[in-house]
Chain A
Amino acid sequence: AQSVAQPEDQVNVAEGNPLTVKCTYSVSGNPYLFWYVQYPNRGLQFLLKYITGDNLVKGSYGFEAEFNKSQTSFHLKKPSALVSDSALYFCAVRDNAGNMLTFGGGTRLMVKP
């Protein structure tokens, strides 16, 4: 069975500083990895995905994520955080059989001015 772990319930960072939101996964075969963001009372918005190729994936709003196969990780990063980045972030994985997306528990990102 596939699974995703987001070890931090909350990440606090000062505006202008780099941020990292951690994600590790477990899946059979090659993983398909996704990051989503959720603002209050809204659905999830797609940020970026890894399918194959370059381990550094760039996405929306200046976010990027680094795929590390040996560590089974897919951490979300941004060089300079904005207060408006404060939201709930979800990592998700799907196996190459195309089964359903499995989400991590979510990490709340708080960016302080």
Chain B
Amino acid sequence: KAGVTQTPRYLIKTRGQQVTLSCSPISGHRSVSWYQQTPGQGLQFLFEYFSETQRNKGNFPGRFSGRQFSNSRSEMNVSTLELGDSALYLCASSTQGAGTEAFFGQGTRLTVV
């Protein structure tokens, strides 16, 4: 079974631009979550989607948005990029249930210059 696939792996953008990151979950997984990882802040939860509906949202500004498609693939978008948005963005997928573990992709390393 293929794992969680995130594209692209690396991205360099300029301040003020916008960016879209993509995540393909494990087949059969309907829950997709996004996290931002930075050296100073650790792993910060962005949002979670389940069956195309946003189920949970972290404490990030409205510049960060996401969506999920009917095939469970998910995208996240960051508009008006700031230098502080430079981070590793991780996507995780899981089946439904509180006791189910999440499986992570390798991440997209975003650098804002």
Contact surface of A with B, Cβ cutoff 8 Å = 32, 34, 36, 41-46, 49, 51, 90, 94-106
Contacts and interface: CB of A to CB of B under 8 A. Distances in A.
A49 B90 CA distance: 20
Contacts of A105: 42
A36 B33 CA distance: 16
A102 to B, nearest CB: 7
A102 B48 CA distance: 12
Interface residues of B, number: 25
6 contacts: A34-B102, A43-B105, A99-B56, A101-B92, A103-B43, A106-B43
A42 B106 contact: yes
A60 B66 CA distance: 33
Interface stretch (B67-75, B79-87, B93-101): B93-101
Contacts of A100: 33, 45, 48, 55-56, 58
B64 interface: no
Contact of B98 (A43, A44, A96): A96
Contacts of B104: 36, 43-45
The 8 closest A-B pairs by CB, nearest first: A43-B104, A51-B99, A98-B98, A103-B43, A44-B104, A105-B42, A100-B56, A43-B106
